[in-house]
Amino acid sequence: MLKKTKLKLVSLILGSMLVTGLLSGCGGSASKDIKIGVVYELTGNTASFGTAAANGAKLAFKEINASGGVLGKQIQIAVADNKGEPSESSNAMTKVISQDKVIAVTGFTTSSNGIAGSAVAEANKIPFVAAATTNPKVTLDENTGKVKPYTFRVCFIDPFQGTVGANFVLNTLKSKNAVVMIDNSSDYSKGLAKFFTEAFTKGGGKVTSEIAYLQKDQDFKTILTSIKASNPDVIYLPGYYEEVGKIIKQARELGITAPFVGGDGWDSPKLAEIGGPDALNNSYFTNHYSVEDNSPKSKAFLDAFKKEYGQVPDAMAVLGYDAAYALVDAIKRANSTEPEKIREALANTKEFQGVTGSLTLNDTHDAIKSAVIIEMKNGKQVYRETVKP
């Protein structure tokens, strides 16, 4: 009797294992889902950027799943926080690729982190679509100058953004001499300053001095006092919102009235909170998107984002959204979840219609698209103009 009971028990265990195996091989959760990594700056000095972009990506994937998913499967996202640091960016990318077993990754809003993350994606041959990393070194190997085969982005790059800023200073503000303030801890800031200076001097302007600071600095009054003494027509400040807000606030307190001009790193609701609405008057920045865009696609996104999160999206949210949709568009065109086929489809992206406009990726995997000029008025962003590539 005991022997029969043991045999029955063994049979039940084997039967259970067989059923489990059949489920996992023929329609279990592992085979139904497509796993995609979402890696952003969720904490740290640029958490406003990363959180907004991650929210945009999550909204996109939620909409895609609600519409039936992709290739008949649902998307499962593996979210990781790069903490706003290059070393943590490598760790976060390694986690989603090695542990979560994703087939592709989207994410990153700052260039230094994107450069670190792309190195891991390239080593593992996993397609990576960056949202808002504008430094050329994200898609180009710094040592060889060659295009990184698995890294792409949906944003314009700094040579274009720097030129747009320089032309605005020269032609609209009519300023001929500038001081450039550079965050020496940021690839983004150093690169954008370089491209602005090149275009500004080529157009007849003169950079009278370059002043360095570091991310997470708090007191800028010493360097601002020296800038005030030089009395520049304009101050070009290609930094991130945390330091930008403090710098402009302290500059106005010292009596500096010159306009400040910067890049997309300014775009955060926290900028006005940190700098103060009045201090930010007479300041401008280049950006990817304006909430005053009244196109049907933009309006639909704006309504969906406000419904989902209860707030107006910034450009980082829009780029996170567009990056997610662009990646899924490539998976559909590849008709495959194989990383190599997705990579090939991404490289052939042409006229993809995103919220930030029509997206075509060039030979260096960079987006060919327009930029907008935003003016800060009483703490609010006001659209000035669109500049085509």
Quick one: which of 193, 191, 119 has its CA closest to 150?
119
d(C-alpha 153, C-alpha 162), whole Å:
18
For 310, phi then psi, to 5°, come to 70, 25
> What integer is the mean pLDDT of 175-184?
97
pLDDT at 25 over 90: no
Q: Is 159-287 in the same CATH topology as 29-156+293-370?
A: yes
Residue 76, token pair as written in the block: 């499962």
Architecture of domain 29-156+293-370: 3-Layer(aba) Sandwich (3.40)
pLDDT averaged over every residue in the chain: 92
d(C-alpha 133, C-alpha 267), whole Å:
14
d(C-alpha 84, C-alpha 326), whole Å:
24
Quick one: which of 154, 153, 176, 156 has its CA closest to 166?
176
pLDDT at 331 over 70: yes
* Sheet hosting strand 33-40, strand order edge to edge: 74-81, 33-40, 104-107, 128-130, 151-153
Task: Tell how far CA 241 is from the center of its chain.
Answer: 14
d(C-alpha 102, C-alpha 276), whole Å:
42
Do residues 220 and 274 make contact, with C-beta atoms less than 8 angstroms apart?
no
User: Tens of pLDDT along 79-108?
Assistant: 999 999 999 999 999 999 999 999 999 999
Q: Grade residue 182 by pLDDT with cuts at 50, 70 and 90.
A: very high
d(C-alpha 22, C-alpha 135), whole Å:
48
Q: Grade residue 246 by pLDDT with cuts at 50, 70 and 90.
A: very high
Of the two residues 293 and 61, the one the predictor is more confident about is 61
Write down the domain spans for the chain: 29-156+293-370, 159-287
d(C-alpha 300, C-alpha 24), whole Å:
38
pLDDT at 49 over 90: yes
Cross-strand pairs, 78: 37
Q: In this structure, what is the dihedral angle of CA atoms 365, 367, 86, 372, given to the nearest 10 degrees?
A: 170
User: Tens of pLDDT along 248-271?
Assistant: 999 999 999 999 999 999 999 999
User: Tens of pLDDT along 361-376?
Assistant: 999 999 999 999 999 9
- Helix (H) or strand (E) run with residue 320 in it: helix 315-334
CATH number 3.40.50.2300 is the correct assignment for the domain at 159-287: yes
d(C-alpha 120, C-alpha 143), whole Å:
16
> What integer is the mean pLDDT of 102-122?
98
> What integer is the mean pLDDT of 331-351?
98
